[in-house]
């Protein structure tokens, strides 16, 4: 029998702030890769301003941003990078969890639904968050490994826009999970989550931003804010 699932975005849905900041804060706090931190902001600030001015789409801006987070742990083995993810979850995320989002996740777990986190963040960070919140699976942006070390590049697409749905479905298929998507739910806050929300029969715009809110209202989706 096909199983119901619940798909949760992380940034703005399970948290009140952006998770990627935790990665940058880790390196700032530990006084590591200082030049890279400066270059990251120099490179991306013009793109951010273009996005805010309506001259660059939210998806384009966030795709490059997520892809370049892999720069920070280039050269690390998965074992060497694990303290980064542990610190982000234990220290950075501790005060910014969204209690209502975590409660929805627990309710789906209690109902026997399979719970998956779906985010543009690096997969090893998403896996660490999933273990912390009790999610069954996680899909994120996969960093490339070469000879056992992260190369600073990607092993696949950034998990954003249409890739959120495609990668979620591919992960379910690879895990041998037969999912009833029409009976399943998804929770997200951004226009870049639209494809994931469209994938299920019960989409929830969860504290939606100014781009997702009018779409959710037009389509009659559930809105939590």
Q: Can you give the CATH number for the domain in which 122 is found?
A: 3.40.50.1000
What pLDDT is recorded for position 2? 94
Number of domains in the chain: 1
Task: Write out the residue range of the structural domain in which residue 212 sits.
Answer: 5-224
What pLDDT is recorded for position 207? 97
Place of tokens 């951010």: 48
Residue 10 contacts by C-beta under 8 Å, 6 or more apart in sequence?
19, 117, 118, 119, 121, 126, 129
- The model's pTM: 0.95
If the chain, 225 residues long, is cut into consecutive pieces of 10 residues, what is the mean pLDDT of each piece? 96 95 96 95 88 84 92 98 98 98 98 98 98 98 98 97 98 98 98 97 97 96 97
What pLDDT is recorded for position 50? 87
What pLDDT is recorded for position 7? 98
DSSP helix, strand, coil percent of the chain (3-state; round to 5): 50, 20, 30
Distance CA 31, CA 11 (A): 25
What pLDDT is recorded for position 54? 85
């Amino acid at each position: 029998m096909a199983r119901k699932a619940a798909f949760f975005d992380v940034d703005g849905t399970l948290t009140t702030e952006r998770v990627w900041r935790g990665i940058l804060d880790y390196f700032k706090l530990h006084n590591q890769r200082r030049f890279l931190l400066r270059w990251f902001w120099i490179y991306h600030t013009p793109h951010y301003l273009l996005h805010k001015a309506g001259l660059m789409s939210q998806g384009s801006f966030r795709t490059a941003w997520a892809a370049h987070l892999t720069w920070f742990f280039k050269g690390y083995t998965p074992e060497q990078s694990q303290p980064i993810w542990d610190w982000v979850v234990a220290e950075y995320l501790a005060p910014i969890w969204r209690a209502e989002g975590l409660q929805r996740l627990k309710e789906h777990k209690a109902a026997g639904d399979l719970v998956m986190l779906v985010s543009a963040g690096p997969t090893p960070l998403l896996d660490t968050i999933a273990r912390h919140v009790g999610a069954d699976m996680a899909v994120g942006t996969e960093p490339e490994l070469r000879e056992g070390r992260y190369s600073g590049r990607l092993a696949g697409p950034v998990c954003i826009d249409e890739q959120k749905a495609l990668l979620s479905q591919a992960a379910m298929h690879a895990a041998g999970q037969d999912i009833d998507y029409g009976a399943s739910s998804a929770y997200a806050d951004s226009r870049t989550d639209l494809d994931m929300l469209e994938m299920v029969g019960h989409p929830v715009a969860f504290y939606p931003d100014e781009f997702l809110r009018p779409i959710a209202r037009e389509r009659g989706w559930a809105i939590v804010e």
